[in-house]
């Protein structure tokens, strides 16, 4: 009887330890999806869909840009903004970051009203208590293809860093640079409020090892991760992405934060949002939260 009792006690202790480790992992690594990629750009339905596919949060977009002076955003309206906050709380789905995806196709270096755009995003961050903004330096501001834009990009990001620093936030930039070159860029900007939004696809598309790139970039410069590759396969079937190795790298770096699924859709069913994002979220949770 004593042996049985002791075994039961040890079993209870083991289960408690496993539960505690799982809980810690869930706090350390959280999984989100881009609202625009699940076809719910700045829509309340993004929260319900994220919950349905078991994501911990969404990356909430500022809305379209086009030729407008600033983003087509509801987040500047207190009534509309509160609806997003209420839905987030109701469903237990967080907001990983606020995205300025309009800059995928617009030039951060050349648009005359960048100041207004950044200020609007920072206001939304402050009012929604979100600490990270995502800024992709897209096709028109590709520093590999357009190195002459570098001085202006640095100048504008130094200003943006000062502004977002006033609310204790960070603007996470995505570039086409290698980790070595992106680290140099961040060091030249020299702002603790401008960091990297690292994208697996940038490394994989250019034949670079994701884990090595993360090590080069370093914990200090890493604000968030777009944890997906160019469309083709689900993450679990993608031979270019060694997820267990990436997880170990991030563990060794003692990094924690949001892993955000952008793509990695199965090309045979690319428009099936629930299937593609559900599969990728489930895989990331299996690797990072267990």
* pLDDT on residue 94: 98
pLDDT tops 90 at residue 138 = yes
What residue numbers bound the domain in which 272 lies?
28-288
What share of the chain has pLDDT > 90, as a percent?
90
Question: Is residue 3 in a domain?
Answer: no
**Ramachandran category for residue 29: left, alpha or beta (phi over 0 → left; psi -120 to 50 → alpha):** beta
Question: Is residue 7 in a domain?
Answer: no
* pLDDT on residue 20: 46
**Rounded Cα distance, 246 and 48, in Å:** 29
pLDDT per residue over 79-100, tens digit each?
A: 999 999 999 999 999 999 999 9
pLDDT tops 70 at residue 2 = no
Assigned token pair, 217: 């970039």
How many domains are there within the chain? 1
Question: Is residue 124 in a domain?
Answer: yes
Question: Is residue 23 in a domain?
Answer: no
Q: Which residues contact 108 (CB under 8 A, 6 or more apart)?
A: 114, 135, 137, 141, 153, 156
pTM: 0.92
Question: Is residue 1 in a domain?
Answer: no
Give the CATH number for residue 263: 3.20.20.150
Find the mean pLDDT for residues 161-182: 98
Q: Which of 1-10, 74-83, 100-109, 237-246 has the lowest mean pLDDT?
A: 1-10
Question: Is residue 221 in a domain?
Answer: yes
Give the model's confidence band at 15: pLDDT under 50 very low, under 70 low, under 90 confident, else very high.
low
pLDDT tops 50 at residue 7 = no
**Rounded Cα distance, 264 and 283, in Å:** 12
Contact 286, 280 (CB under 8 A): no
pLDDT tops 50 at residue 1 = yes
Question: Is residue 72 in a domain?
Answer: yes
Question: Is residue 9 in a domain?
Answer: no
Mean pLDDT across the chain, nearest whole number?
Answer: 93
């Amino acid at each position: 009887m004593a042996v049985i009792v002791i075994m039961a006690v040890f079993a209870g202790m083991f289960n408690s330890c496993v539960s505690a480790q799982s809980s810690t992992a869930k706090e350390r690594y959280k999984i989100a999806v881009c609202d625009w990629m699940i076809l719910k750009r700045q829509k309340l339905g993004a929260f319900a869909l994220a919950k349905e596919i078991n994501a911990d949060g969404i990356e909430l977009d500022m809305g379209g840009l086009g030729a407008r002076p600033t983003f087509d955003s509801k987040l500047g309206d207190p009534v509309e903004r509160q609806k997003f906050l209420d839905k987030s709380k109701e469903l237990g789905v967080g907001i990983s970051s606020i995205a300025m995806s309009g800059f995928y196709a617009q030039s951060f270096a050349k648009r005359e009203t960048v100041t207004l755009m950044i200020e609007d995003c920072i206001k939304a961050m402050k009012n929604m208590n979100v600490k990270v903004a995502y800024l992709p330096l897209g096709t028109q501001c590709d520093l590999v293809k357009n190195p002459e834009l570098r001085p202006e990009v640095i100048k504008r990001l130094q200003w943006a860093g000062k502004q977002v620093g006033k609310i204790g936030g960070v603007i996470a930039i995505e570039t086409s640079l290698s980790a070595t070159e992106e680290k140099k860029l961040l060091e030249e900007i020299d702002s603790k409020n401008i960091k990297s939004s690292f994208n697996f696809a940038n490394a994989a598309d250019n034949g670079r090892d994701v884990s090595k790139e993360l090590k080069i970039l370093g914990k200090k410069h890493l604000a968030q991760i777009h944890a997906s590759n160019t469309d083709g396969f689900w993450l679990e079937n993608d031979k270019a992405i060694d997820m267990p190795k990436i997880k170990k790298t991030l563990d060794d770096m003692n990094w924690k934060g949001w892993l955000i699924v952008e793509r990695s859709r199965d090309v045979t069913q690319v428009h099936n949002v629930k299937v593609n994002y559900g599969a990728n979220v489930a895989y990331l949770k299996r690797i990072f939260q267990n």
